[in-house]
Amino acid sequence: MSVSIIIPVYNKEMYLNDCIQSVVNQQYRDIEIIIINDGSKDNSENIIEKWSAKDKRIRYFSQRNQGVAIARNKGISIANGDYIFFLDADDYLEEYAILKLVTDALYSKADIIIGNFYEKSGNKFVEKQSFENKLFNKSDLKKTGTTLEMFIVNNRHMARAGNKLYKLDFLKKLQVSFVDGVIAEDRLFNLICYVNNPTIQVVNEYTYIYNILDNSRSRTLSSNYYDQNISLLNYLYDYLKKESKLEEYQELFQLIVMYDVSKVINQTFERSKEKIKSTNVSIKKLRENTLIFNTISAVIKEEKFKKINGGKAFYRISLLNYLLVKAPFLVPVYKTVAYISRKVKLR
C-alpha cells in the first residue's frame, strides 16, 4: 500500500528542513513525497531542491502563489498513492507515523484514518486528549454525538486535514477538493467528505506534531475575516442543496452554523483592538444574514439540542447563539464579563 504525502510550501524556510526530514525518515518506506512550492520568496526553493537531490521519492513542483487550497488540489491531482496524507510545511511527523496509520488502514479498509497529535509551542509539547480507537460507519455518522465529536467539541477529529490518510479513490470518485477563499478550508473539505458517507477509523496513536506559531494565518484577524468564515456556511449549504442532501444532513448543518456563529463572535472579540465595536458589527451582520438567522431561530424554536450533553463548550456555543437571536445587546456584555473573569483568574 503506497501513500502520497502532500506538502504545500509558502515561505517556510525556518521549519522546512525539519518537516521534510521527518518525512524522509519515516519507517514506512512505500511513500511518494509531493512538495508544492506555492510561490515562496524566501529560501524554501533551495531547501526543497537539496532534499530532492538526496531522495528520489520527492516530486517537486513550483507554481505562482495561489494559496494552500490550490496547492493541495494540485497534489491530489498528481498523486499516485492508494492513500494521501496532508502535511503542513511548518509541522512534522513522528518516525512511525505513516506505519501506524497504514497498519490500521490495512485492517479496517476505511476511507479515512485519523491519528492523534501533539501541539508544540516553543519547546513545550502537549498531548491532545486521548480517545477510543473506533471505526465509524454510515449509521454512526448520522448520530448527534458523532457529529459533535468530529466537528464541534472535544477532539474535533475532522476539524483539520492534517494527520489523516484519505483513500485516493474515495476523493477522486466524489471529486472532493479544497475550496479557495474560505477560512477553515480543512474543515470544509472534511465536511464534504463526511456527507458522502465514508468509513472513518480513529486511531489513538500520536503521529503528528502541530507547530503553534504566533504569526499563523489562522490566528490573525484579517479585514475580511467575517466574509471568509461565512463563505464556508454558504458553500456547505449550496453543496447539500445541490446534492439533495440538505434534509438528510439538516442537523449537521445546524450544528456547523452554531459553531461558526460562536467562532465569529469569540474571535472577533478576542482579536480586535476595539472589542465592543467590532463585536457589534459582527452581530449586526450575523443577524442580517437570512440563512444564519433562520437556521438558529429554528434550532431555538424546536429546542433542537436542549437535551444534548456536549459539555461546557457546547453550552457556551448554544448560549451565544441564543443571545444572538433573543437578546443581541447582551452578547458584548457576556463576552466582556467572561474576558474580565479570565484575566482575574490569571493573576
**Residues 178 and 68 sit within 8 Å (Cβ to Cβ):** yes
Residues in the chain: 347
Q: CA 255 to CA 25: how far, in whole Å? A: 40
pLDDT at 266 (0 to 100):
95
pLDDT at 169 (0 to 100):
97
Q: Chain centroid to CA 240: how far?
A: 19
pLDDT at 124 (0 to 100):
84
The low-confidence residues of the chain, meaning pLDDT below 70, are: 214-220, 345-347
66-116 confidence digits (pLDDT tens): 999 999 999 999 999 999 999 999 999 999 999 999 999 999 999 999 999
pLDDT at 224 (0 to 100):
82
pLDDT at 346 (0 to 100):
56
Q: CA 255 to CA 151: how far, in whole Å? A: 9
Question: β-strands 164-167, 92-93: how paired?
Answer: unpaired
pLDDT at 218 (0 to 100):
47
Burial class of residue 135, CB neighbours in 10 A (0-12, 13-18, 19+): middle
